[in-house]
Structure 1
Amino acid sequence: MTGTLPPAAGDQYVPLPGAHIVTTRALLAARENLTDAIDARAMMCVYGDAGFGKTLAVNTCLRELEPGEEVRRIAFRSRPTARAVRHAIFTALGLAGGPPAHPSEFDRLLIDALSARPRTLIVDEAQWLNSDAFEYFRFLWDDYGTQLAIVFVGGQGCRTVLRKEPMLASRIFIWQKFSRLTPAEVLQVIPLFHPVWETATPEDITFADTHAAHGNFRSWAWLTAQVLTGLKRLRRQHVETDVLRWAFHRLGEA
């Protein structure tokens, strides 16, 4: 999806009525880091394995920090050329008319648009970017006229590629790695994540994390959806070991 930030309801990969965004240490750090990067009109890299809550944290924080039209999101699903990056930014900014045919004209149009007022670009799935694409973002950010903050969000590959580009890596203001929840964090935040876990025992939550969720928020969302179905199918009122085992089978974790 390219354009403005998506609605908050779209942050979860699985529809999960009743779920709450919980304030983890990583989310608190992201809010502080994003505030500093935006204030400095700097570049930031948020990276980590899939399902650890990177995109959700960035979207949630930026809705609070930069509401309205100042934030634009770009996501790539394959390795883009510089031309594809130009067109993605053009679309994200919602510029009028057709994109220029000549690269130098296209560059000038984008620089003028990004100089008109402060902007924040979220570049999601940034692990797909190659050297040329990263270099193009650096080119735009380096221009004296642009008032641009850029947040690269991606897997471990995002950091690896960035580190191979010394000119760009030296300009990254903040690096933030997202990791899996520790066992202690799981016991603290999962009862706040969804009402179904409020009455679960610490032993059952630890059992669920050890056998299925593994400190991964996306896995916890999928598990929660299966547990809600399991409670209905097994006619139970609360999470119990047999309900968890039923859910594990559906997730291939038996």
Structure 2
Amino acid sequence: MDIPKIPLGKAVEWLEHWLELYFGPVFDLILTVIGGMVQGIETGLTILPALVVIVLIAALSYWIGKWRLALFAVVGLLLIDNLGLWGPTMQSLALVLTASILAVVIGVPIGILCAQSNNFKNIVTPILDFMQTMPAFVYLLPAVSFFSLGVVPGVIASIIFAIPPTIRLTNLGIRQVSEELVEAADAFGSTPWQKLIKLQLPLAMPTMMAGINQTIMLSLSMVVISSMIGSQGVGTYVYRAVSQAKTGAGFEAGIAIVIIAILLDRMTQNLLKPKHK
């Protein structure tokens, strides 16, 4: 006997239509806010000449890390500029920074709530498992349905794909704080808010930064995928090179992504380390 197929796909499409019908203004607001945020960051990165931006990024790299990181920033960014990929790379960087900032702003409070409540953690954990195992391409479908083509659905898909590490490691970092220290804070009459701000978050910060680092890397990995739905940037060059079998052009665009990935990775890793020049 044939078992009737569960109409899961139709249910998802019905939910999508229902959300579009009743929450259209909310999606329009999100489209405006995220679009403006991406445009603002991109303008900040491109309004100045490339050499000036390179010097500023190198100075920031030197302050955060070591002189080797600053040297890598100069050499890598000059190579990107020489390859003629400066503009697209800054567009991709604006997308990555926007997605990462929003993922951290949303993910850290959720991680804190998970650390404070086991019931909330038990609800969120299966959702995070689902988000991390679902193929990244699938996130593009509802994003395009709600926000049309362009950079905004790419940012939304990047947030969904990249936010789980921030939530998980924020929860883990707070839970790893020594129980003796928490009891000492309670003994001194600290409120839950004071205990969180002055004790748990500072001690959990290294673990949280590891999660934020992974979130940034996952956001960057979505650059090429989001180019399929109209997101501008260096990912478009990779996608075009693949579709046209242009190995050289694809390699150049890939190098630009690798340079930005290494630079962001080293900067976030060194953010909380003592600065030894």
Q: TM-score range by the shorter chain?
A: under 0.3
TM score, norm. by length of structure 1: 0.24
Q: Which has a greater percent of strand? A: 1
Task: With the length of structure 2 as denominator, give the TM-score of the two structures.
Answer: 0.22
